[in-house]
Chain A
Amino acid sequence: MQKLRQETQGFGQAVPPAQSAELIHTNTISRGTKFGFLGPAVISLAVIGLAPLAFAIWTSLYNYNLTKLASMRFIGLANYANVFSDSAFWQAMGRTFTLLIIALPVQIAVGMGIALLLHRPGIGFLKTITRLSLVIPMATTYAVVGLLGQVMFNLKYGVVNQLLGFTGVSPINWLGVPEFAFATIIFWDIWQWTPFCALVFLAGLTTVPPEVEEAARLETKNWWTILRNVQLPFLIPGLTAVLILRTADTLKQFDMVFTMTRGGPGSSTELISLLIQRVGFRAFDQGLASAQAMVLLVITIVLSRLYIRFFYREV
């Protein structure tokens, strides 16, 4: 104790004798020490993650075009005005949210069903195999999922049309017709992320104290009543995590759709990330693309803030 007193006095702080150990602890840590722990991570993330953003803001104020750099000039907020009046941008945004609004409820409902199925007593071996199978879709490289989609949903060579043929459905041009192409990316998104929801909910179900659940089962045989009144409170953290992460990941969605449809046919599957990629890297209009990216960034930050305020626990 004597030693500790000396140490804290070294920092010019008198420690009242009654102060708790914890407070002494936090008070004795110098700024230098804190910086030593946090500095490297914060500085590198700032250099890699923030500096490019600053550059993007600068670019977004110019008519920056890689193929015509000589004619580059400051145009103020013209790119932003362009974004807000550009129907292509808002259509891409609309498609992104349509994908989310259709796929997410299916993923949650089916995932919950699978989780309840796995939570019921039954053949342990089969349940283990199922749990391991659920890992496969979510671990599969997104780009590979898209390439696999091209192979499986192909009009002529695809296995999906072959299987549908057995039930009498004539071949469908899944990736060649706008509506079907959009339906295909929704289906593929559901394939990849329903298992994720199932595993998250299963983890939630196992946190329900068994004695509470057994008591409830003596009261009622209705699974819906048990789910709503007994299990749901334990599922809330997982449900909010799913909601937040699926929203963010849909706004980020690029790899799977790009490798499967390139945003086509036409622009029918062009989600927001694909649109910005096309404008920036194929039309080479970096100024406009930067402005679009900034608008997307603001939307993402606002959504994250809202979600975190309502759902997420903080440090």
Chain B
Amino acid sequence: MGEGTTTRSSLFSQVLLLAAVILFCLFPFYWMVLTSLKTHLVALQTPPAWIFDVSFSNYSEVLFEDNVGRSLVNSLIVAVCTTILAIGLGAPAAYALARFEFKGKKELWFWFITNRMVSPIVLALPFFLIVRSLDMLDTHLVLILIYLTFNLPIVIWICTDQFRSIPREIDEAAILEGASQWRIFRSLCLPLAAPGIAVSAIFSFIFSWNELMYALVLTRNQAKTAPAMAVSFMEGYSLPYGKIMATSTLIVVPVIIFALIASKQLVRGLTMGAVK
């Protein structure tokens, strides 16, 4: 009998604690969506309202009057292009790191790692000055290229890990049959590495979609991405909380859907393959 009650009470405490964790994680998200459904007047009530007449006017306003729709398209263009480029450049490099021996391999690997560690502000300054003198500020291309500095390392790491998990014997059998190294990569290893490539693509997309600092510094209007757009609402005096939260919701929801789809691989991706 004693045994039974302890398990029941420990089960109860577990339920309670897990509920607290869920609440802790989800409450800000809930509050963001809630605020996005408030009109300007309701959003500025003290104390804040929990129950009110739901209004979608913020969404229609930011999408159709404030160019947020366009900035979302900009974010999409930049994130998709940089992801494709990062995979195209990174996957072969990852294969080489996994399979070939060459001088300076360790140094090269360390350089890739460092790119993941370095603060973007270190590159943002000189990049801004160079891009400005080339008269290329406020273009998609500039963002696509600078985002490679964090996407390429991610793709290379995750994929190197993936290629190493493919048995070498497969390559060697193909070599004995006279296949070129490039054909082995394209037709044999690349399909086998598809899971790793998919994970790195999702990460590349999420990181690019979420990025703010480069976008803030390198774009003005034409290529302005959604996070930079959301920040610009803060610059007035009126603090349009409803509009800011509506924009935020539009930015966050696609990322969260992606992250939930990839939730099994999330840890692996964020720790660069150190934890599976």
Contacts and interface: CB of A to CB of B under 8 A. Distances in A.
Given A143-B230, A252-B120, A133 B43 contact: no
Interface in B242-265: 244-245, 248, 251-252, 255-256, 258-260, 263
Contact of A52 (B102, B126, B272): B126
Interface string A25-42: 110110001101110111
Given A4-B175, A157-B46, A140 B18 contact: no
Interface string A123-153: 1001101111111111111111101101110
A245 B123 contact: no
A200 B121 contact: no
Nearest to B118: A300
Interface of B: 11, 14-15, 17-19, 21-22, 24-26, 28-29, 31-32, 35, 43-48, 88-90, 92-93, 95-97, 100-102, 105-106, 108-130, 145-146, 148-149, 152, 156, 160, 168, 171-172, 175-176, 178, 181-182, 185, 206, 209-213, 216-217, 227, 230-231, 234, 241, 244-245, 248, 251-252, 255-256, 258-260, 263, 266-268, 270-272, 274-276
A242 B18 CA distance: 23
Contacts of A273: 119-121, 213
Given A41-B89, A117-B18, A130-B21, A49 B115 contact: yes
B70 to A, nearest CB: 18
A-B interface, 9 closest residue pairs, ranked by CB to CB distance from nearest: A139-B259, A41-B93, A37-B96, A52-B126, A56-B126, A241-B274, A241-B271, A248-B117, A255-B212
Interface stretch (A98-106, A172-180, A208-216, A274-282): A274-282
Contacts of A114: 21
Interface stretch (A11-19, A158-166, A224-232): A158-166
A277 B251 CA distance: 24
Contacts of A142: 210, 212
A277 B213 contact: yes
A308 B113 contact: yes
Given A141-B209, A142-B210, A199 B181 contact: no
A265 interface: no
A3 B106 CA distance: 33
A306 to B, nearest CB: 12
A129 B125 CA distance: 43
A22 B275 contact: no
A148 B152 contact: no
Contacts, number: 314
B252 A141 contact: yes
Task: Tell me if A's interface is mostly helix, strand, loop or mixed.
Answer: helix
Interface of A: 1, 3-4, 21-22, 25-26, 28-29, 33-34, 36-38, 40-42, 44-45, 48-49, 51-53, 55-56, 59, 66, 114, 117-118, 120, 122-123, 126-127, 129-145, 147-148, 150-152, 156-159, 161-162, 165, 191, 195-196, 199-200, 203-204, 207, 237-238, 240-242, 245, 248, 251-252, 254-255, 258-259, 272-273, 276-277, 280-281, 286, 289-290, 293-294, 296-297, 300-301, 303-305, 308, 312-315
B92 A204 contact: no
Given A130-B18, A240-B274, A140 B96 contact: no
B146 A304 contact: no
Contacts of B160: 315
Given A162-B47, A238-B275, A133 B25 contact: yes
A105 B123 CA distance: 30
B15, B121, B260: most-surrounded residue (chain A CB, <10 A): B121
